[in-house]
Amino acid sequence: MIRPLKLAIIGGGPSGFYLASRLLSRFPQSYADSLRVHIFDRLWAPHGLVRYGVAPDHPEVKNCTHKFDSAASDPRLKFFGNVNVASDGENALNGVPLSSLKKNYTHLVFATGCTEPNLHPLLPRDDGIIPALDIVHWYTRHPSNPSPPPLSSTNHVSIIGMGNVSLDVARMLLCPPSLLEKYDVPSHVLDALRSSKVKHVSVIGRRGPLEAAFTTKELREMMNLPDVALRPLEKSVLDVQASTRQQSRTLDLLKKGSKAAFGTTLKTWSLDFYRNPISVTVPSSNSPSYSLTLGHTVVDAATKRAGPLLDSNGAPITSVLPTSLIVPAMGFHAEPSSAAPYAQWYDLDQKHIKTLPGGRVSTTNLDTEEPKIYASGWAATGAKGVLASTMMNAYSVAEAILEDWTNLTPSLTTSNTHPVAISSSPWDAPPSEILDGLSSANITTYEDWLAVDAEEVRRASAGGKERERMDWNEAKKFLHGTAKQK
Ligand SMILES: Cc1cc2nc3c(=O)[nH]c(=O)nc-3n(C[C@H](O)[C@H](O)[C@H](O)COP(=O)(O)OP(=O)(O)OC[C@H]3O[C@@H](n4cnc5c(N)ncnc54)[C@H](O)[C@@H]3O)c2cc1C
Ligand SMILES: NC(=O)c1ccc[n+]([C@@H]2O[C@H](COP(=O)([O-])OP(=O)(O)OC[C@H]3O[C@@H](n4cnc5c(N)ncnc54)[C@H](OP(=O)(O)O)[C@@H]3O)[C@@H](O)[C@H]2O)c1
């Protein structure tokens, strides 16, 4: 056997699976059996934000999982769920330390994503100040199991930030629940949406329509929501010059407004451009709502940054918005914790892993027996871009891995054996912590996931619904039951 390429991918999101799929398909056929790919995720189910992020009413986006299923059907790929990988020296609770992976693999990839929401320093978490990620986790039944947002006592929601996550959350809160019933929305979430008192959602941005981060598809969906109207924008806000196609499309949609006319619907929303939170007063016996003070802003033509709008005396202009729920939706970053397996390569300014071309985290060890280390997807790029860009990034890292392996393997034309720094026996076994976890049924495999996946779809099909999600306790019980039947 030729020098093996035994790869550990930390993170079973789209980046990890796209990378695995590419590597499996591009690996030289004649040495096919020298490749093994093990994917580890700390969640019990695979697919990262595709399962626990993508909005339920975008089912077509999740079609990428067919490709992931197909990659996982290759016997050279194994998935291990419920495995938290921690930094060297950290005793990983329910998982493995990086040092163990370093002993067992020739190549490592961090595909750990950007799992922490950016929070506004002036808007600390509170009963009524809930990051958008908590709401996303709530409606996707994420294992973190956040408290449900208090929708039955919420009339007005203020979302801070104008990205696609803001519009996903706004759409979920405003869409008639009857239209969501057929999608992958957990029953308890549908119940909460049915009894929601939300009447208006303000989507608040510190810059203008030309700088909004959302895309036109998502804006159009908001405009087309039945029985929901956009509060028409002031003419001055729309009086700006587009310089890209995306900007002109956004401006056209904003000028046209919502399908439902303002004043004719029970529910409304607004795009509050040029507003930046500067303080908040929490509810009290005198005032049942939060008071969100918003500084009015202007965008600097050269830097495109937002600055305060001043009155003729040089004082900042502000306004106060009474609101029941404040939802910061200001993007994400990779975990800065010293327990993160990539802690030593974390870039404190960029808030993700620092990489070189090809996603290489370090090139100093390329010609040694040390495992080669890479980062892929949002872990390497920051929380930017959609699945297509994550896929392209993952493919480029797969090519770099292949290139580094080829350069290190002196002759690919003759079958010869080379020493490798792999301590496991047999060479393609996962680390001992994983073998222990598998025997005690704490760790999930891709076969487990496929069984749960089919069962979730089966449980929902009678009601004409896409799927009914299980949490880990339900999945464990189900898997235990199927194991006993075998
Ligand atoms: C709310 C939301 C909705 C989105 N909707 C869309 C959409 O509709 N269409 C679209 O094209 N794009 C969408 N995106 C973007 C898309 O989800 C990303 O491009 C993509 O998920 C990034 O993939 P990734 O694998 O890098 O990260 P992730 O998907 O975050 O996967 C990272 C994985 O790493 C695991 N992990 C992290 N740390 C560890 C550790 N220490 N040990 C083990 N495992 C670990 C995590 O559990 C996770 O499963 C959305 C993003 C968000 C936030
Ligand atoms: N349907 C989809 O395709 C879909 C769905 C969800 C997510 N995604 C993708 O996932 C990525 C992340 O999306 P996202 O919406 O989380 O992030 P995003 O696109 O980066 O948007 C973040 C928003 O928060 C604002 N913001 C950031 N810091 C702020 C601060 N300190 N004060 C006030 N406002 C602040 C930003 O304003 P500024 O621009 O002024 O900084 C921006 O409007 C994006 O690439 C997105 O396209 C795609």
Q: 286-325: per-residue pLDDT in tens?
A: 888 999 999 999 999 999 999 999 999 999 999 999 999 9
Question: 181 CA distance to ligand 2 centroid (A)?
Answer: 27
Lowest mean pLDDT among 218-227, 321-330, 427-436: 427-436
pLDDT for 204 equals 98
- Mean pLDDT (the chain) is 94
Q: Is 330 in the pocket of ligand 2 (CB under 6 A)?
A: yes
pLDDT for 352 equals 97
Q: Which ligand is nearest to the CA of 60?
A: 1
Question: 116 CA distance to ligand 1 centroid (A)?
Answer: 11
Confidence of residue 97 (pLDDT cuts 50, 70, 90): very high
pLDDT in tens, 381-427: 999 999 999 999 999 999 999 999 998 766 544 444 444 557 778 89
Instruction: Report the alpha-carbon distance of residue 13 to residue 48 in Å, rounded.
Output: 4
Confidence of residue 183 (pLDDT cuts 50, 70, 90): very high
Residue of the nearest CA to atom 43 in ligand 2? 162
Q: Is 205 in the pocket of ligand 2 (CB under 6 A)?
A: yes
pLDDT for 117 equals 98
pLDDT at position 447 over 70: yes
pLDDT for 414 equals 42
Average the pLDDT over 126-145 and give the result: 97
pLDDT in tens, 270-291: 999 999 999 999 999 888 899 9
Q: Is 387 in the pocket of ligand 1 (CB under 6 A)?
A: yes
Which ligand 1 atom lies nearest to the CA of residue 47?
49
H/E stretch holding 219 reads helix 216-223
Question: 38 CA distance to ligand 1 centroid (A)?
Answer: 18
Question: 273 CA distance to ligand 1 centroid (A)?
Answer: 28
Instruction: Report the alpha-carbon distance of residue 99 to residue 90 in Å, rounded.
Output: 9
Question: 148 CA distance to ligand 1 centroid (A)?
Answer: 21
For 136-155, the DSSP string reads HHHHHT-TT-PPPP-GGG-S
Question: 237 CA distance to ligand 1 centroid (A)?
Answer: 34
Model's pTM, two decimal places? 0.96
Instruction: Report the alpha-carbon distance of residue 234 to residue 148 in Å, rounded.
Output: 35
Q: Is 49 in the pocket of ligand 1 (CB under 6 A)?
A: yes
Which ligand 2 atom lies nearest to the CA of residue 166?
15
pLDDT for 362 equals 75
What spatial distance separates the first Cα and last Cα of the chain, rounded to whole Å? Answer: 36
Residue of the nearest CA to atom 17 in ligand 2? 331
178 residue type, one letter: S
pLDDT for 287 equals 87
Question: 162 CA distance to ligand 2 centroid (A)?
Answer: 6
Question: 218 CA distance to ligand 2 centroid (A)?
Answer: 13
Is the Cβ–Cβ distance between 9 and 111 less than 8 Å? Answer: yes
pLDDT for 91 equals 63
* Percentage of the chain modeled with pLDDT above 90: 87
Question: 115 CA distance to ligand 1 centroid (A)?
Answer: 7
Average the pLDDT over 472-484 and give the result: 90
pLDDT at position 463 over 60: yes
Instruction: Report the alpha-carbon distance of residue 309 to residue 69 in Å, rounded.
Output: 52
pLDDT at position 81 over 60: yes
Q: Which ligand is nearest to the CA of 342?
A: 1
DSSP letter, residue 429: P
Is the Cβ–Cβ distance between 231 and 273 less than 8 Å? Answer: no
pLDDT in tens, 233-243: 999 999 999 99
Which ligand 2 atom lies nearest to the CA of residue 58?
1
Q: Is 328 in the pocket of ligand 2 (CB under 6 A)?
A: no
Q: Ligand 1: which of 67, 112, 352, 391 to mutate, most ligand atoms within 8 Å of CB?
A: 112
Instruction: Report the alpha-carbon distance of residue 82 to residue 90 in Å, rounded.
Output: 17
Q: CA 111, 115, 117, 118 torsion: positive or negative? A: negative
Q: Is 218 in the pocket of ligand 2 (CB under 6 A)?
A: yes
Question: 91 CA distance to ligand 2 centroid (A)?
Answer: 34
Q: Is 54 in the pocket of ligand 1 (CB under 6 A)?
A: yes
Average the pLDDT over 135-155 and give the result: 97
Residue of the nearest CA to atom 44 in ligand 1? 41
Q: Is 360 in the pocket of ligand 2 (CB under 6 A)?
A: no
pLDDT at position 226 over 90: yes
pLDDT for 2 equals 74
Average the pLDDT over 20-49 and give the result: 96
